Amino acid sequence: MPRPDRSSTDRCDRTGSAAAGRRRLGLAAGLIATLAIAAASPVSSARSAPDPATQARLIHLLVQDCGSCHGLTLKGGLGAPLLPETLADRDAETLAAIILDGIPGTPMPPWRGLIGRDEALFLAETLKKGITP
Amino acid sequence: MTGFALPSRRSLLSAGLAAAAGATAPGIARADGCALRGTGDLGLVVERATGSLLLVETSGRSMLARIEGLGDLSHASLVFDRTERFAFVFGRDGGLTKVDLLTASVAKRVVQAGNAIGGAISDDGRLVAVSNYQPGGVRVFDTDTLEMVADVPAIDRRGAPSKTVGLVDLPFRTFAWSLLDGDEIWIGDFADPRAPKIARFPDIGRLPYDGVATSEGRWYVAGLFGEDALTRIDLWAETPKAEKVLVGYGKGEQPLPVYKMPHMEGWGAAGDLLLIPAVGRHEVLAVERDTFREAGRIAVHGQPVFCVARPDGRQVWVNYAHPANDTIEVIDVPSLKVVHAFRPGPAVLHLEFTPRGHEVWISVRDADRIDVHETRTFAKVGEIAAKSPSGIFFTPRAHRLGV
């Protein structure tokens, strides 16, 4: 079986990586915007907001790992949707408690041990504001 | 078609393919003549964050083209038709996309539901079925036109609509699936898709999270999240019935938090055994294929997500849930021992063997990379750049039942 000639593969590669580069830039801009909003918002009660590197890690966790059940765009999947309108009637403290302790009898696990209380509150507030993946 | 294979007709073939794809085919079928090839060594890699697919080939371990515009591909999966030319991609956002591998382009696309989880293709290649979270149930489409030919809502016995999971194909235009919220298994015969015959199996156990058919099509097995057991149905029985197996495999111990649901896809014939991810435990269970009696359990690095048998059944490769998801372990089936472990990198999401298992491709999501390893020496022999890669699917799946 002849393989596709090298030149055709190269052409395809170039097209692909250029497009990926553009998307990466777009994604980075979106993330910076999200972080800027998060940093500018008031911090509730006595707690320390996670530093920017931790915030970036938490947003990544939210989109990628929470997203494996709740959907990459958080519109829901196995787990419930986590959009601002669906979370409007719950305060951040309640949501943070669900993140830390899970919901027994359902697939929502307790994240305590992997996520601290301040980090859970940051995630809850981020969800209530909404993120643009 | 045979005439097209003659060298003198090559430009005709290219022109024909390009015309079929709307004349702007970006992939391997080009008017400049680099078109003619088979599809048996092709595959697609899901780039989950960007709604794109990579068309790859395993002979030279290379990326051929990127196919874009497939919507939300988080948790996306796909099946191949029996020609190995077309793939049907099931997106999270309910998108059902028919992709042409020869032209590296989208042939057709519909958004068939609000939120979907997977699908299957019938043995005759005529029907593709999609499992939906929103609005729930299963919808069946004509593979030529993507026109819906059957809509089967999953209304459970309490009258509530259920999300469906574990949708697989069975022989003779039949599909089986489980009702996540309804605790039921349904088996649908779509010989006449306008009048499907549905067999319902109620009370099969709490929260079935996935299902699989064994490769010969005899057993449909549902994994249970809400119970320490699995449920299986003998499809060869005169009167099939649901039967719980491996009851109490957790031995009453409190399961660990599950950060990523295990998958049941990939259980192959590993000799006389099936190797199964234990839910909420750092264990892989080995069970006898016929009786489902426990034959052993293997202590592993984390909570297993995929336990994929190499096509010859000699090895089973395992990846893990967060936070142990940087690691792969290889279990030797005859000895039920971990014989190799390595760390490809952050967020190893999926793995796929070449058709006869000499190499394995591994998606390392947070490294934006696919790694290729030999399975005899375990040595890394190649890598391919990919943006947040998740599922890897090679065309020989077209000829396997229950995937």
Span B264-286, pLDDT tens digits = 887 756 778 999 999 899 999 99
Q: Given the structure tokens 């993120």, which residue do they identify?
A: A131
Q: Angle of helix A52-61 relative to helix A117-129, nearest 10 degrees?
A: 70
B370/chain A closest Cα distance in angstroms? 15
Interface contact B59-A1, CB threshold 8 A:
yes
**Stretch B281-308: mean pLDDT:** 94
Using the beta-carbon criterion (under 8 Å), do B74 and A133 form an inter-chain contact?
Answer: no
A15 has pLDDT over 70: no
Specify the higher pLDDT residue, B342 or B20.
B342
Alpha carbons B144 and A51: distance in angstroms, whole number:
53
| pLDDT at position B201 over 90 | yes
pLDDT band at B338 (very low <50, low <70, confident <90, very high): very high
What is the pLDDT at residue A47? 67
Mutate to test the interface with B, among A10, A17, A22, A64 (most CBs of B within 10 A): A64
In whole angstroms, what is the distance from residue A92 CA to residue B13 CA?
61
Among chain A residues, the shortest Cα distance to B384 is held by: A13
| Interatomic CA distance for residues B199 and B390, integer angstroms | 34
Please state, in angstroms and rounded to a whole number, the distance separating the CA atoms of residues B70 and B67: 8
Structure confidence at residue A71 (pLDDT): 86
With contact defined as beta carbons under 8 Å apart, do B35 and B10 qualify?
Answer: yes
pLDDT at A46 over 60: no
Contacts of A78 in chain B (CB under 8 A): 117, 133, 163, 180, 209, 261
Integer Cα distance of B217 and B210 in angstroms: 16
Rg (CA), chain B: 21
- The pLDDT, as a whole number, for residue B327 is 98
List B294's β-bridge partners, or say none: B287
Give dist(CA B121, CA B294) in Å, integer. 32
Radius of gyration in angstroms for the set of CA atoms belonging to chain A, rounded to a whole number: 19
What are phi and psi for residue A39, nearest 5 degrees? -70, -30
For the ranges A110-114, B13-17, B190-194, B285-289, the lowest mean pLDDT is seen at: B13-17
CB pairs under 8 A between A and B: 118
Q: Give the residue, B249 or B122, on which the prediction is more confident.
A: B122
Residue A11 pLDDT more than 60?
no
Chosen from A3, A7, A11, A12 to mutate, greatest number of chain B CBs within 10 A: A12
| B32-37 contact pairs (CB < 8 A, 24+) | B34/A4, B34/A5, B34/A7, B34/A8, B35/B10, B35/B102, B36/A2, B36/B5, B36/B10, B37/A1, B37/A2, B37/A3, B37/A4
- Say whether pLDDT at B5 is over 50: no
Q: Is the pLDDT of residue B314 over 70?
A: yes
- A90 secondary structure, DSSP code: S
Cβ separation B259–A109 shorter than 8 A: yes
Does residue B219 contact residue B276 with C-beta atoms inside 8 Å?
A: no
* Closest residue of chain A to B258, computed from CA coordinates: A109
**Token reading at B19:** 């015309």
For A41-116, where are the alpha helices, taking DSSP H only?
52-61, 67-70, 92-101
Question: Would the CB atoms of B115 and A76 count as touching at under 8 Å?
Answer: yes
Query: What are the φ/ψ torsions at residue B371 (nearest 5 degrees)?
Result: -105, 145
Residue of B37, B256, B259 best to disrupt the A interface, most CBs of A under 10 A: B259
Sheet of B184-189, strands arranged across: B164-170, B174-179, B184-189, B197-201
Q: Is pLDDT at B23 greater than 50 in this prediction?
A: no
Is-contact A38 A122, C-beta < 8 A? yes
Structure tokens at B366: 């947070």
Determine the average pLDDT of the residues in B107-113: 95
Mean pLDDT: which of A21-30, B116-125, B258-267, B269-278 is highest? B116-125
Which residue matches tokens 């936070």? B323
Spatial distance between the Cα atoms of B230 and B227, rounded to a whole number of angstroms? 8
Question: Quick count: other Cβ atoms within 10 Å of Cβ B273?
Answer: 21
**Average of per-residue pLDDT values in chain B:** 89
Q: Express each pLDDT in B24-83 by its tens digit.
A: 334 455 555 556 889 999 999 999 989 999 999 999 999 999 999 999 898 899 999 999
Q: Is the pLDDT of residue B239 over 80?
A: yes
Q: Whats the size of chain B, residue-wise?
A: 403
Residue B11 is predicted with a pLDDT of 36
Whole-number Å distance between alpha carbons of A44 and A47: 7
By the CB < 8 Å criterion, does B7 face chain A? Answer: no
| Residue B224 pLDDT | 93
Reduced to 3 states (helix: H, G, I; strand: E, B; else coil), residue A98 is: helix
Q: Look at residues B373, B366, B369, B381 and name the one whose alpha carbon lies nearest to residue B352.
A: B373
The token pair that represents A50 in the structure block = 């996670």
Is B117 touching A (CB cutoff 8 A)? yes
Contacts of A114 (CB under 8 A, 6+ apart): B259, B322, B323
Per CB-CB distance under 8 Å, the chain A contacts of B57 are: 3-4
Q: B106 to each of A65, B27, B52, B70, how far by Cα in Å?
A: 28, 11, 11, 8
Does the distance separating the beta carbons of B66 and A16 come in below 8 Å? yes
Query: What span, in angstroms and rounded, lies between the C-alpha atoms of B294 and A122?
Result: 44
- Residues of chain A found within 8 Å of residue B366, distances taken between Cβ atoms: 60, 64
Out of A8, A64, A69, the one facing B347 most closely (by C-beta) is A64
Strands B95-100 and B115-121 turn out to be unpaired
User: Closest Cα to residue B166, out of B129, B131, B194, B198?
Assistant: B131
Give how far the C-alpha of residue A14 lies from the chain's centroid of Cα atoms, to the nearest Å: 30
CA A89, chain centre distance (Å)? 21
Q: Residues for chain A: how many in total?
A: 133
From the list B63, B133, B366, which residue is nearest A77 (CB)?
Answer: B133
Q: What pLDDT score does B259 carry?
A: 87
Tell me if B92 and A24 make a contact (CB, 8 A cut-off).
Answer: no
The predicted pLDDT at position B94 comes to 93
* A107 min Cα distance to partner chain B (Å): 7
B137 or A35: which carries more pLDDT confidence? B137
pTM of the model: 0.83
Is residue B1 pLDDT above 90, yes or no?
Answer: no
Predicted local distance difference test score (pLDDT) of residue B271: 75
Cβ of residue B369 closer than 8 Å to a chain A Cβ: no
**Residue A68 near chain B (CB below 8 Å):** yes
On whether any CB of chain A is under 8 Å from the CB of B209, the answer is: yes
**pLDDT value at residue B35:** 63
What pLDDT, in 10s, does the model give residues B129-161? 999 998 999 999 999 999 999 999 999 999 999
Q: Do B74 and A72 touch (CB under 8 A)?
A: yes
Range list of H helices, B175-321: none
CB B178 within 8 A of CB B230: no
Average confidence (pLDDT) over B247-259:
83
